[in-house]
Amino acid sequence: MSTLAGDVQFDFSFPCDPATPPTSFTFDPSLLEMPYNPGHSRSISNGSSMYSFESSPSNSIVSTSTRRTTPSRSPIRQHGPLLLPKIRSQDQNIVPNVVPQSATRPSKRARTSPAPAPSAMSKRNVYRPTHQRSFTNPETISYNPNPMVTAASYPSTIAENCNTSSLLCSPIMFTSAEFAQATTTTAAPIDNRAQRASSCNLDDVTIEKYGFPTYRQMPSYVAAAGPATHRSGSSTPTPQPAPAMLPVSSQSDLTSLPAPSSYFQPYHQQQAYGLRDSSPLAGASLTPEPQPMQPVQSLQPSALAPTPTTTLLSYLTASNPAPSLVRTIAFPLRDPQIRHFWWDVRQIRPWSSFNTSTIMSLSGGAASSLLTCPVPESFLPNPMSSQRHPETERDLHSIYANWFMPKLNAALALSSNRPAQLSVPAKSGPHATRDNEQMFVATVPGDASSAAAIFGGKPSARVVGLVKSFDRFNTGMRVEGNVKKVEYLRGLSHLHHVMREHGCRYGFILTEIELVVVRNGLEGTPHFGFLEVTSCQLATTGADAVVDLTSDEAGKNGSGSDVPMTACLALWGLCMLAGDDMLPAGHAPWRAEIGAPAEGTRRKALPRDTWMPQPQLAEKREAKRSRGWVLPEDPVGRKELGKRGIEHWHNFLAIAYQRYDGIKVYVTGGIYGDFPQPNDKFSFLPCTNLTVPPALDDEDHKASWSSLFDPDPDHWSWGNRSDPAAAPEDPYAGRGIYLCGYIDVPLDYHNESDGRIARLAVTKFQVSGLTRVDGSSAPGAGNKSERTLVLNPGGPGGSGTSMVWDSGETLTDRFTEHKFDALGWDPRGVNTSLPAISCYPYPADRDRWSMLTGQYREEADPDQQLRVMDAMNNATFYACWEMNGDLGRFMTTALVSRDLEEIRKGLGEDELTGYLVSYGTGIGQTYANMFPDSVGRMVLDGTEYVRDGRLLGGFGFTALDNVTNAWHDGFLGECLNAGPEHCALAKPHGGEPVTLADLGARMENLVTSLIGNPVPGYTEASGPSLVTYSGIVSILYSSLYNARSWPAIARMLHELEAGNSTLAAEFLELELWAYDPRNPQPPYPPSTNELTNLVICADSYDAPLPPDGLAWWSTLWANMTAKSWISGNSRFMNVFPCQHFTTYWPDVAEVYRGDLNNTLKHPVLLIAETYDPATPLRNGRRLAAEMGTNAALIVHHGYGHSSVDTSNCTDSIARAYILNGTVPEEPETDCYANEKPYLYGVKANGTSAVAAAAKSSSQDPIEAWEDHIRELAKWQPRL
């Protein structure tokens, strides 16, 4: 229905003159009845858009923008309800006019669009896109610095509604009107207007992007090799280009080529064209009617001069610009934006297979014919370089962009149906970095949109390149001193980082002297830091002698042995290698699944080459700050893999894709079969970055989960090779595999009407690995172990999946001799289990309020501080209720124990075998007495006494027994025993030997002096800071969890006593804050900090509140800090929120209030430590006394929380218990740690003591403290 028929008002008057000539316009109402054709039939006007910016009535229509619609006021517009053809100014011919500017300028407009602000680059020689050559995708507009080559106007007698395909993405040059009139007297005048055409076909990507085809999809004309027949079958002569387009010799060469392929087929297609219909607006136009076009056949061919031809090979081996060396060199060594480090590069090997022979063999051998095929010279622009003296690397990049981009893009356009195009990435946008200013990327039309759909907008390219000055990077640096070697490796690591960011394996570096070409291995997931490198001089040209970059034999055996390797030819070959055509043997597709070094794939790395220098400790520290760097050989920590894949989860679709030769959904199957396997209660998949449990509101969660299966075993997480006899040719033989899954359990086991569930994340380390479907695996491979060692680290809030990632292999070897699988789960509300509990939207919010509520009793007004904490606790629980509803009442230890029983059933085992630590022992005690017939061989290490948790505040005040002794006997006493070689605090003070009493008094004075006099501090990463009493005491308490951190703490205190607060400030920065603004990441899952308080308070919900309110809590706080100044404040803050728990959750779903002496199917093994700062030895003895014959106790004489202080005695008893069920005969057995603090790894005698002392003294204390923080995170909050 027309607009008038629909009674839609529309003002056809313009507020100014139309932007398109003629200057007068008469509206034809018959236009309203014209059918809308999304093909956009185009008028032959050379002017601007028919509708100016002001004349478009799009803002009178209210529309909704979707992925398949164009938003209002976008560059592509809907011109009112008439739906007239969409004409954009950038779709018009941009051809210089000879008419004076005043004759074509429209009259003054009522409103004008502001001109774009000039950029920083506008003053430089930067060429804007030309529209003489158009492409399907606007992302691939040609940047042609020499518009005179392709922008000349040629008369066209071609119908614009033709439909052709073309090999050459370039306009066909027709004979000019002046020349045609000079050669014939019978021909009618030819319209002297330029014809613009595109060779690219319409693709789905552009349709999805714009919602309709644009002029960038209009077909182009390509000369046919023979006569053509008119499309409609009429006898109307078909216009043909002048015979001079392809000389006779060229035509004969084309017919002698091999059988038609994807490269040459368009030359042999017979095309036909019809004459163009007149424009609907022609009658209304005041311009003269164009003269009838004269068919080209009427011209005299004998009068046409032949067009000069050349070959791609000659074009690509021509001389290159020779700029002088860059004058200004910058070395941004401490730039916080740098995300690459020179020790990223692990091994460098020559890329011997990249040579001229390889290039000639591309596309199944057709590249040789393609390079030697005659091509009109006009198709290949020869840009001119106006600048030869770059001041900076940016200027050098500009020179190369003006030279190499147009040359390579023109050559690549002639070489493939889907050619890669070189461009400079955007300098603004969500993924723009300063690297973009000196970078090139080669992409194929459609790649960028596909990558955005898959990876949430992450940049993607097939080849990436950098421009660097010769003084900052050159091949000769590799054989010079360490400083130059580092500069060389820094350049390669920069390229390696950019390749990782864009997901490709091919790259290059351009300097003033040479081109360095790089490949990152051949595997789907290459070894991290493994690079193959070759280079060529920019001065090499086709006139030079043969340059063979590999060996004499390599060049002589190929068809390209007589061809020199030039920079243009090498870049052309590199882009062709990254294309979609068949690759020669020994080469790999461009796509590389490269993980960052701090992800699970970092372990796929080779040893570093011996000639490479070693990074300094300060450099490694800076790398850890800015990128969370860990070396490939370092152990996997919780920070790295505890939330594995979470930061990527929000950037991926529910279905994973693999981008190669189009977009394909991952297919199931592979050499190890399909996953998840039938009847698997946990739906295990090989762990990748995507294997995170599906959302609770996913109606088809099984299908969503199955779609995450990646069949490529190179992407899976494998354990270390444990069987030396495994087949060496199989990279996965003899290696365990990490499997990720989940299990659904009722949120409320006692209310069948409540259909809500908790989805528990589960990770298993399967020691036998996987078995191949072809039966070639070793016997027993892929089989589930006889029993499974179930792990939980404690907390409340500790992640079992993280414990498997961090210690699964170690624990199964320590306690089961690598015979049992290890399985960990995230309890309800923890880490990746769902629903996750959090009461703050962002970690930064929690940090902000912790500054107010985190002051300890000694440095604040106790009463005032108590009221502040109480108010904030009330606000926090209110937020928990608002954000999570009644979930708080389902977080008790009894319900977690029921979840554990469901996990046992899912494993299909009659008894539970487990190793449970810290709060995990509370889960174990509750489980054993709730399900005594399911108890197998359970080790409870670092024992709680769950009866204490039933009391108000009991979780806190019963944990203080050992702390003071651990500080006095352990931290201070063992320091003096180790001596000043291993402990900084043992060094003589004031010229006098240090005694234990003196050292204790000094440290007490040092710490208490901070109460009234905080010390100013500074860190390079965060700037100013304060070293406070609360912060230092918090550090001291957390250090008691693991004695291996004590040397670093002793050094920090020693420097602080001497007036140097640098280490103290660094330690506080790592200890206190949850949010790091220096390294922003995608949204993390909710933190489980508040879950700790919910569990503690839910387990004691029925304990009566004190009648005198805050007065009782104030007394408790004073008593706890008096008993332990190190841990009293921290433990009090864990239990004080329980004052308000029942305000929001008056009752809970279930708690266990029974006895702990039920008869068990099998006795449990308890381990309690003499100096445990969180679970005193008294807990273990009380528990063992109540359990009687159902338990045996090991008294572990060591330091730290649980049996972290290794003892062969403890391990051997636990191993015999788990493997054979052997229970110690005595109810209590004493075991002693193997080594003493400060002397770990030091033997009593021999040279190893000297070496260990040297290593201890040179260890970076910040690095040691970071390791301790990662270890401490197992037990979750700072208790």
Side by side, which strands form the sheet with 347-350? 347-350, 530-537, 514-519, 506-510, 463-467, 439-443, 421-423
| Most confident segment among 29-33, 156-160, 461-465, 913-917 | 913-917
Q: Which residue has the tokens 């996990």?
A: 903
Q: Which residue has the tokens 């969370």?
A: 628
Res. 980: pLDDT tops 60: yes
pLDDT of residue 1203: 93
Output the six-digit token pair for 559.
């068809």
Yes or no: say if 512 and 523 are a contact pair by the CB < 8 Å rule.
no
* pLDDT top residue among 1269 and 734: 734
Yes or no: say if 891 and 851 are a contact pair by the CB < 8 Å rule.
no
pLDDT of residue 417: 82
State how far the Cα of 479 lies from the Cα of 1031, in Å rounded to an integer.
49
Res. 687: pLDDT tops 60: yes
pLDDT of residue 746: 97
State how far the Cα of 125 lies from the Cα of 117, in Å rounded to an integer.
17
Q: What is the pLDDT of residues 310-369, one digit of tens each?
A: 898 889 988 877 788 888 876 655 555 677 888 889 999 999 889 988 888 887 778 888
Predicted confidence band of residue 124 (pLDDT cuts 50, 70, 90): very low
Coil vs helix vs strand at 1232? strand
Q: What is the pLDDT of residues 298-311, one digit of tens each?
A: 444 444 556 788 89
Window from 355-364, 589-598, 1087-1096 with minimum mean pLDDT: 589-598
What residues are paired with 1194 via a beta bridge?
A: 1167, 1229
pLDDT of residue 339: 72
Give the E-state strand segments of 273-316 in sequence order.
309-311
Predicted confidence band of residue 734 (pLDDT cuts 50, 70, 90): confident
In this prediction the pTM is 0.58
Predicted confidence band of residue 254 (pLDDT cuts 50, 70, 90): very low
Burial of 135-148, coded b for 16+ CB within 10 Å and e otherwise, reads bbbbbbbbbbbebe
| Most confident segment among 35-49, 710-724, 1153-1167 | 1153-1167
Window from 794-798, 1023-1027, 1068-1072 with minimum mean pLDDT: 1068-1072
What average pLDDT does this structure show over 473-495? 91
Res. 1227: pLDDT tops 60: yes
Res. 74: pLDDT tops 80: no
* pLDDT top residue among 889 and 75: 889
Cβ count within 10 A of residue 165: 15
pLDDT of residue 956: 93
Q: What is the pLDDT of residues 196-233, one digit of tens each?
A: 333 344 444 444 444 444 433 444 333 334 333 333 34
Predicted confidence band of residue 419 (pLDDT cuts 50, 70, 90): confident
Predicted confidence band of residue 502 (pLDDT cuts 50, 70, 90): confident
Predicted confidence band of residue 1186 (pLDDT cuts 50, 70, 90): very high
What percent of the chain has pLDDT above 90? 40
What is the chain's Cα-based Rg? 37
* pLDDT top residue among 563 and 817: 817
State how far the Cα of 1252 lies from the Cα of 1239, in Å rounded to an integer.
8
Predicted confidence band of residue 853 (pLDDT cuts 50, 70, 90): confident
What element of type H or E holds 1210?
helix 1208-1220
Q: What is the pLDDT of residues 517-547, one digit of tens each?
A: 999 888 777 888 899 999 999 888 866 543 3
Q: Which of 733, 760, 621, 763 is nearest to 671 (CA)?
A: 733
Output the six-digit token pair for 903.
């996990």
Res. 158: pLDDT tops 50: no
Residue 988 — φ and ψ, nearest 5°?
-55, 140
pLDDT of residue 1068: 87
Window from 161-170, 922-931, 964-973 with minimum mean pLDDT: 161-170
State how far the Cα of 409 lies from the Cα of 141, in Å rounded to an integer.
10
**Average pLDDT over the chain, rounded to whole?**
73
Cβ count within 10 A of residue 1185: 13
CA 891 to centroid of chain Cα atoms? 33
Q: Which of 401, 375, 371 is nearest to 386 (CA)?
A: 401
pLDDT of residue 129: 39
pLDDT of residue 778: 65
Residue 180 — φ and ψ, nearest 5°?
-65, -40
Output the six-digit token pair for 227.
């006569």
Res. 855: pLDDT tops 70: yes
Answer positive or negative: Cα dihedral of 25, 27, 33, 36.
positive
Window from 126-140, 280-294, 564-578 with minimum mean pLDDT: 126-140
Window from 538-542, 557-561, 892-896 with minimum mean pLDDT: 557-561
Res. 407: pLDDT tops 60: yes
Yes or no: say if 559 and 503 are a contact pair by the CB < 8 Å rule.
no
Res. 991: pLDDT tops 90: no
Predicted confidence band of residue 671 (pLDDT cuts 50, 70, 90): confident
* pLDDT top residue among 221 and 1244: 1244
Res. 894: pLDDT tops 60: yes
Coil vs helix vs strand at 982? coil
Q: What is the pLDDT of residues 1114-1144, one digit of tens each?
A: 999 999 999 999 999 999 999 999 999 999 9
Res. 683: pLDDT tops 70: yes
Coil vs helix vs strand at 1253? helix
